[in-house]
Amino acid sequence: MLELDCQLTRDGQVVVSHDSVLDIRTELKGAISEYNYAELPPIKDQIPIDFMPGLIFSSINEDRRIPLLEETFHHFPNTPINIDIKIDSNELISKVSDLVKKYQREHITVWGNMKDVVTQKCYKEVNCKITPPGHLLAEPALSRQGRRLSACLKQLLT
3-state secondary structure the chain: CEEEEEEECCCCCEEECCCCECCCCCCCCCEHHHCCHHHCCCCCCEEECCCCCCCEEECCCCCCCCCEHHHHHHHCCCCCEEEEECCCCHHHHHHHHHHHHHCCCCCCEEEECCCHHHHHHHHHHCCCCCCCCCCEEECCCCEECCEECCCCEEECCC
Query: 58-70, pLDDT tens digit by residue?
Result: 877 778 899 999 9
pTM of the model: 0.76
Domain residue extents for the chain: 2-58, 80-155
Query: 30-89, pLDDT tens digit by residue?
Result: 999 999 999 999 988 887 888 888 888 887 777 889 999 999 999 999 999 999 998 999
Contact 140, 110 (CB under 8 A): yes
